[in-house]
Amino acid sequence: MNESQLQQEWLETNGLGGYASSTVSGINTRRYHGLLVAALHPPAGRTVLLSKLEETLVVGGVRYALSANQYPGAVHPQGFDHLVEFRRDPFPVFVFEAGGVRVEKCVLLVHGENTVVIEYSVSDAACELEVRPLIAFRDYHCLTHENNAIHREVAMEPGSATVSLYWGLPALHLAHDAEEAEATGAWYRNFEYRHEQERGLDFHEDLFQPFVLRFRGGKAAIIASTEQHNVTEASEMRLAEIERRRTLTEARDPLVRSLTTAADQFLVRRGEGKTIIAGYHWFTDWGRDTMISLPGLTLATGRLDDARAILLEFAASVDQGMLPNRFPDAGDKPEFNTVDATLWFFQAIHGLNDPQWVREHLYATMRDIIDWHVRGTRYGIRMDADGLLHSGEPGVQLTWMDAKVGDWVVTPRQGKPVEIQALWYNALCIMAALDGEGSAQCASMAERARASFLTQFWNEADQCLFDVVDNAIRDAAIRPNQIFAVSLPHSMVSPRQAKLIVETVQRELLTPAGLRSLSPRDSQYRPRYEGDGRSRDSAYHQGTVWPWLLGPFVSAYWKVHSGSAEAQEQCRKWIRQCAEVAGQACPGQIAEIADGDPPHTPRGCVAQAWSVAELLRAAIETGLG
C-alpha cells in the first residue's frame, strides 16, 4: 500500500455540519470517519450512521475486493491494490481496475440534507458488483461494539432498504437500483483506527452489516439518507450540486477557486441562522474561530448575507458583554470563556464595511460590550487604569493559546496579552468611527491605551513586543501574537517598530506551513505535535505551526512594505507554499496545524476554517482574486 493513500484524507460536507470522510486508501483511520456522519441537530448532534461500504467486483466468477480495513495485525481486504486514480471532480472519485474491468466510484453529499449519494460506473456490463453496508449508529466521538440491543430487522421494499438500529435514533434509508437485496445481519469485529491509537485513545470498533446489494454491471447508485428518496434522484442530485459549486466563485486563479470551494464547507446552518464550523472532523462552531474566519469565508467571497446572519446569530447570544466561545454538542448552555472572541467580533463587523446596517442591528450590542469591558466582566476581564485590557484568573485560559492539561496551564497568559491590547484598541477605534453615542469617549480611551501600550510593550533587546505584560512581569517569549499589533487596521506602533516586529517574526517564526507558535531558540520549544493527549497539548502552542497566522503576517508584511510589487510577489509565494504544505493532509483543504520542525507535517484537523479563511483573505488582499 502506498503510505500517502493511508495518510491522505478526503472530505465532503452538507451545509448542516454533517460530512463524509475517509482516507484515499479506503481504510478508516479515525473514529470520525464515515460515509454518512449526519448532523441531527445542525450543526451539532453528529452521528455516524453509515460507516462505510464493503465492495466486491465479480468478473467471470473471480472476486476482487475494492475496499480495505485495518484489523489487529492485518489489513483485509486490500482493495487499494486495484486503485489506479483518486481525484476531486468536483467530488471524491475513486477509479479501480481489476480483472480487466474499470470501476469508477463517486461520493457526494446533498447540500442541506443528511444524504450521501454513491454512484458506480462499471466498464463491463456483464460483471456483478456486491455492496455490503457497515453501520454504526453512534455519536461521532464514541465507538460501538457488538451488542444485543440492536434492531436487526431490515425493511425491504423494491429499490429501498431501511434500518433503524437503536431506539431514539433516526432510520437510515438506502435507496438503490440493485437487482437483488438480501438481508444478512452479521457483525464485523475489531476494526482498528490508527489515528486513535496514536492519540492514546480507544481504537477498536465493531460494525453491523445488515444486508447485501448485488448490482449487474454498467451503472449503479445508492442514496443513503435520514430521508426517503428514490434512486432515480441520484443523477439530479449530482448535477444540482455541481451547479451549486460552480456558482461559488468566478475567480480565475486556481488557488483562489480551490480555497473558495473549501470555504463553503465551513458555512453551515444553526437553527434559522448561519454559523461557521471551526474544523473537521471534531470541532463544532466556536466564537473565536467564527469571528476570525468570517472575513475570509464570507466577506472575501461575496457572501455578505451569510456574514450578516452569522453576526446576528452570535450577537443574540452575547451575555455580560461576552461572545460565547462554544456551543456544546449536547445543546447545553453556551460557554463564555474567552477574552478575544468578543474583540474579534468587532473586527468581523468592521470588515463588513456597512456602517448603516451596523448602527441599525449591532450598535447597541457593541456599546454594551464596551461598557462591560470598562467596568469588568467574567474572569477578571476589565479595562485597567492605564486604558489597557486586563484578563485572566489562575488556572483559566482565555486567549487562543488555550492548551491545558488537567490543572496544568501550558501557556499561562494572565494579565495583558499583546494581541488582546491590539484587538481592544481596534475595537475602541471602530466604535469611535461609528459616530454614535460615546464616540468621543471611545476615541479618548483608545488614545490612552495607545500611550500605555508604547511604554509597556516594546522589547528593545529583541526589537519586538513582549508577549504578555503583568505588572512588573514582561514575558519576552517570541511568539506570533505580536503580529496583530501591525496587521490590524489600527496600529499602536510606529512604522519603524512595525518593520522590526515583522522582521523578527519572519526570522524566528515563519515556515512554509505558517507561523510557529514559539521561537525554536526558546527552551520551551516543542518541534513535533505527536503522542498522547498530554504530549500533544503540551506542544500545541509551544512551537507548533499554525497556517492561519500566515494571513495576519502577510497583511503586516504587505503594510510595512507599502504594497510594493516585490512584496506582492513574495506574499503570493508564501500563500501558495503554505497551501501546498498544509494542504497535503486533505486535498482541497488546509490543515489546522503542522510540526514546528521540517518537513512541517500537517497535524490536527485536516480541514480548519481559519486556516482556509486567512489564506483566502490574504490571497484576495494581495491581488490573487
Least confident of 18-27, 183-192, 367-376, 435-444: 435-444
| Residue 271 confidence class, pLDDT cut points 50, 70, 90 | confident
380-395 tens-digit pLDDT: 999 999 999 999 988 8
| CA-closest candidate to residue 335, choices 273, 271, 281, 402 | 402
Domains along the chain with CATH numbers:
3-245 (2.70.98), 248-621 (1.50.10.10)
Residue 77, preceding bond cis, omega within 30 degrees? yes
Can you give the three-state secondary structure of 554-597, one letter per residue? HHHHHHHCCCCHHHHHHHHHHHHHHHHHHCCCCCCCCCCEECCC
Model pLDDT, residue 331: 60
Q: How far apart are CA 106 and CA 221, in angstroms?
A: 10
∠ CA 146-148-149, nearest 5°, is 105
Q: What is the mean pLDDT of residues 421-448?
A: 94
Answer whether residue 64 shows pLDDT above 80. Answer: yes
**Is 610 or 532 the better-scoring residue by pLDDT?**
610
Q: What is the mean pLDDT of residues 254-277?
A: 95
- Confidence at residue 395, expressed as pLDDT on a 0 to 100 scale: 85
228 vs 235: CA distance, rounded Å: 16
Say whether pLDDT at 444 is over 80.
yes
The C-alpha angle with vertex 319 and arms to 316 and 322, in degrees rounded to 5, equals 100
- The answer to whether residues 478 and 518 touch, using CB atoms and an 8 Å cutoff, is yes
pLDDT of residue 333: 79
What average pLDDT does the chain have? 95
* Confidence check: pLDDT of 329 > 80: no
Give how far Cα 195 sits from Cα of 27, 74, 323, 366, 602, Å.
11, 16, 33, 43, 13
Q: Is residue 330 very low, low, confident or very high in pLDDT (cuts 50, 70, 90)?
A: low
Can you read off the three cell numbers belonging to residue 212? 447485501
Phi, psi of 416 (to 5 degrees): -130, 85
pLDDT at 1 over 80: no
CB of 126 closer than 8 Å to CB of 217:
yes
Residue 328 has pLDDT above 70, yes or no: no
At 154, is the pLDDT very low, low, confident or very high (cuts 50, 70, 90)? very high
Q: Is residue 332 predicted with pLDDT exceeding 80?
A: no
How do residues 85-121 score in pLDDT, each as one tens digit? 999 989 999 999 999 999 999 999 999 999 999 999 9
Rounded-to-integer distance, Cα 13 and Cα 406, Å: 33
Res 114: pLDDT:
98
User: 551-588, pLDDT tens digit by residue?
Assistant: 999 999 999 999 899 999 999 999 999 999 999 999 99
pLDDT at 532: 87
> Contact 616/255 with Cβ under 8 angstroms?
no
Mean pLDDT, range 8-14, rounded to an integer? 97
Position 436 confidence tier, pLDDT thresholds 50, 70, 90: confident
Q: Greatest CA separation found in the chain?
A: 84
pLDDT for 606 beyond 70 = yes
Q: How many residues does the chain have?
A: 625
The stretch 67-82 carries a mean pLDDT of 96
pLDDT tens readout for residues 343-353: 999 999 999 99
Distance CA 281, CA 605 (A): 6
CA atoms of 559 and 295, how far apart (whole Å):
18
